[in-house]
Structure 1
Amino acid sequence: MSTDPPSAAHPDEPHRGGIAQRLNWLRAGVLGANDGIVSVAAIVVGVAGATSDTGPILTAGVAGLVGGAISMALGEYVSVSSQSDSEHALIAKERQELRDMPDEELDELTELYRARGLSEQTARQVAVELTEHDALSAHLSMELNIDEDDVVSPWHAAAASAAAFTIGAILPMLAILLPPPEWRIPVTFVAVLLALAITGAISAQIGGSSRTRAILRVVIGGALALAATYGVGALLGASGVV
């Protein structure tokens, strides 16, 4: 029988800690890029529908990119800060309880393992051995499903969200600015919808869902957003308002 640890015996399986956190970050990155693609594409296509001048299109696109990236970063920072503060408070509370009433905490851990189906004797032995090894980690994992070393940083989350949005936003900016004026709209539509299909496929792969449904959702939604903003821009441009 092999004595290798699970992570060595099955390197392709998610035995190592933090897999859920990494998947959440990857999913957030894909969604952030998707937001950058759609929102900035909608802005530049709308402006391009009203005018073919490069200056207004570039200005609107850059403003949308910067504003969107800051908004995404701020939203992610606030959200993750709340989560991080809650987790740190729970960790401090558990550490205090272990210091003040270790016997009660050992009994609690034993009961948790009994609730999982272990016998009284086995549950007690597991609780004792885990407590001797690392009492805080044992309680955090069993009671709260928290890893003290895996609490996400709000600053890292904000930076990742802003970077993902920016990367996604660069594509429609290039697609609308590089081609000749008469090709800007069709090239942007094609480039954006292809990019959305890719992000839809990646998100489906991460979540284990149907690729076809995921791709159709984002592509149809993106196409509707582009058509709507282009229509508004063309209408305003034709009416002489802008």
Structure 2
Amino acid sequence: MSILIGPKQPHMTWRQRLSFRRDLGNRLNVLRAGVMGANDGIISTAGIVMGVAGAHMSSTALLLAGVSAMISGALSMGGGEYMSVSAQRDLQDSICQKEQEQLENDKEASFQGMYKHYLDKGYAAENAAAMAHSIVDNNDIATILAEKFQIKLNKLLNPWLAAAADFVAFIIGALLPLLCITLIPDPYKVSVTMAAVVVCLFGTGYTSARLSNVPARKGALRNMIVGLLTMVIGLIIGSLIG
């Protein structure tokens, strides 16, 4: 028998509705990470190429500095993401193993854990006991992990995928200032690059703020200011050295 968890979407069972919410949350997290990766690529590469441009170096030097910044930054971001997600994956594996062993060797403890979980979520004792019994009696480890820890067995964290996504997002973001500073002729390359970067940072800041449920305009403005300051500081340092 399907047990409904609220008046909305009455055609969805409690398991289907919870699964839908978690899937949506996962997609939003991936999108948010991609947006921030591209944002980092824009800002860091723009700051470096502005420094080289401020030193009045050749177009070849500009291109070399930009490409080096793009590749090294993308590798750094991808490597950092791999290490971070690997640690999270190790924790997921540990939880999965512990819960599987408990389900196989101590069903009463598994039942009590699920029963208390549903009571804490506000279910009536009768419904909580029925759901817990159904899950434990069917050795439904997937539901235990999804309910208690938001872990989906068929969607465990993939460190390589996360690293690749961060790497690609950074490259895409870095291409904007790199192409502008190398393809636009003097004396417009610095001003046009700065304008293009600021406009794109408004977009990434706005999108990131919306995905994080914070004031979008304020987030976009902060992002633009950070990017503009990065470029101005880079330009000043380059001018002083050059």
TM-score by length of 2: 0.89
Counterpart in 2 of 1:137?
142
* 1:197 correspondence with 2:177: no
C-alpha separation between the residues in 2 aligned to 1:102 and 1:59? 62
* 1:111 correspondence with 2:116: yes
C-alpha separation between the residues in 1 aligned to 2:73 and 2:150? 33
Cα RMSD over matched residues? 2.3
* 1:154 correspondence with 2:172: no
Counterpart in 2 of 1:29?
34
Give the one of 77, 84, 89 matched to 1:84: 89
Query: Cα offset for 1:15?
Result: 2.6
Question: What do residues 74-108 of structure 1 show as CA deviations (whole Å, max 9, x unaligned)?
Answer: 00000000000110111011001111111221122
CA contact (8 A) 2:198 2:227 kept: yes
CA contact (8 A) 2:22 2:150 kept: no
C-alpha separation between the residues in 2 aligned to 1:118 and 1:206? 30
Deviates more, 1:20-29 or 1:79-88: 20-29
Query: Cα offset for 1:113?
Result: 1.9
Which amino acid in the other structure matches residue 117 of structure 1?
G
CA contact (8 A) 2:32 2:208 kept: yes
C-alpha separation between the residues in 2 aligned to 1:190 and 1:57? 18
5+ residue gaps, structure 1, are: 238-242
Query: Cα offset for 1:139?
Result: 1.9
Question: What do residues 28-57 of structure 1 show as CA deviations (whole Å, max 9, x unaligned)?
Answer: 111110010011111111100102410110
Counterpart in 2 of 1:45?
50
CA contact (8 A) 2:103 2:139 kept: no
CA contact (8 A) 1:131 1:138 kept: no
Question: What do residues 108-154 of structure 1 show as CA deviations (whole Å, max 9, x unaligned)?
Answer: 21222223333333221111123345521232133323222221100
5+ residue gaps, structure 2, are: 1-8
Give the one of 46, 62, 71 matched to 1:66: 71
Secondary structure of 1:181's counterpart equals coil
Counterpart in 2 of 1:214?
219
TM-score by length of 1: 0.89
Query: Cα offset for 1:170?
Result: 0.3
C-alpha separation between the residues in 2 aligned to 1:113 and 1:42? 51
Give the one of 92, 99, 107 matched to 1:94: 99
Deviates more, 1:110-119 or 1:93-102: 110-119
* 1:15 correspondence with 2:48: no
Relative to 1, partners in 2 of residues 1:44 and 1:76: Cα closer, same or farther, differing over 3 Å? same
Secondary structure of 2:187's counterpart equals helix
Which amino acid in the other structure matches residue 89 of structure 1?
S
Query: Cα offset for 1:183?
Result: 0.8
Counterpart in 1 of 2:3?
none
Which amino acid in the other structure matches residue 131 of structure 2?
V
| Number of residues of Structure 1 aligned to a counterpart in Structure 2 | 233
C-alpha separation between the residues in 1 aligned to 2:28 and 2:201? 19
Question: What do residues 140-186 of structure 1 show as CA deviations (whole Å, max 9, x unaligned)?
Answer: 13332322222110000000000000000000011101111211100
CA contact (8 A) 1:18 1:150 kept: no
Relative to 1, partners in 2 of residues 1:22 and 1:136: Cα closer, same or farther, differing over 3 Å? same
